[in-house]
Amino acid sequence: MGLNGEDKRIRALFCELKREEEHASPLFAKTWNIAEAEFHRSNFGRPRLQLSSNLLRFATAILLVSFVSLVLAATVLLPRYLRPNRQPKHDYAKQGVAAGPLAASEEPLRSGKVPANRESGKPTDRLVAILRAVRVKKSQVAVAKRARPVNQIKQSGLSEWQSPTAKLLRSAGDELLRFVPQMNESAEEMKKFLTNDLN
């Protein structure tokens, strides 16, 4: 009930507001005529508007074309221009292996030039050469490691094989245990010593 009473009160207030605003509302004919006049005026002015819209389209098309050409130039032509003497990729590997990573890396530093592709975020030619040389070296070492035990076994044979833990069994007194002691050996040594001393 309270809510209904509240609704009624709000409705009454809105009714009063409506009554007041209806008095203040402009005449339909006046508003319509103004809108119609504006419509006719804009219709007469339409050719000029169309001309300006055509001009706008033309300008937009030109801007678009220039933007596309700029993008093309930046992505395709500019890198080519900045790197005219770039060598093929297989040459870097050969250079890197032949001259070594150090020699390959020294050349651009001495010349003082900044490689063109450094700015574009790509690895430099020198770096590529070093990486390739390192890769080749690594593969060679790996191949050598794999091949070594087989060759050694073939060359030396089983007779020379030593246990990997043999070193652990060695001690300082090993020499005394390798031969049998002779009878009166120490007495003979003593005689030698004494005769030398007496002379």
Chain positions contacting other proteins, by CB under 8 A: 6-7, 10-11, 13-14, 16-18, 20-22, 24-26, 28, 31-32, 34-36, 38-39, 42-43
Please count the helices (runs of H) and the strands (runs of E) in the chain: 10, 0
For the bound state, the minimum distance from the C-beta of residue 60 to other proteins, rounded and expressed in Å, comes to 23
The smaller minimum CB distance to other proteins, of residues 46 and 138, is found at: 46
What is the spatial distance between Cα 27 and Cα 25, in angstroms, rounded to a whole number? 7
For the bound state, the minimum distance from the C-beta of residue 54 to other proteins, rounded and expressed in Å, comes to 20
The smaller minimum CB distance to other proteins, of residues 42 and 120, is found at: 42
Q: Which residues contact 123 (CB under 8 A, 6 or more apart)?
A: 117, 131
For the bound state, the minimum distance from the C-beta of residue 128 to other proteins, rounded and expressed in Å, comes to 55
The smaller minimum CB distance to other proteins, of residues 24 and 102, is found at: 24
Closest CA to 85 of 106, 70, 107: 107
Q: What are phi and psi of 121, to 5 degrees?
A: 90, 0
* DSSP code for 83: -
The smaller minimum CB distance to other proteins, of residues 16 and 106, is found at: 16
For the bound state, the minimum distance from the C-beta of residue 56 to other proteins, rounded and expressed in Å, comes to 19
What is the spatial distance between Cα 51 and Cα 59, in angstroms, rounded to a whole number? 12
For the bound state, the minimum distance from the C-beta of residue 45 to other proteins, rounded and expressed in Å, comes to 12
What is the spatial distance between Cα 138 and Cα 144, in angstroms, rounded to a whole number? 10
Q: What would the two tokens of residue 86 be?
A: 């770039």
The smaller minimum CB distance to other proteins, of residues 6 and 188, is found at: 6
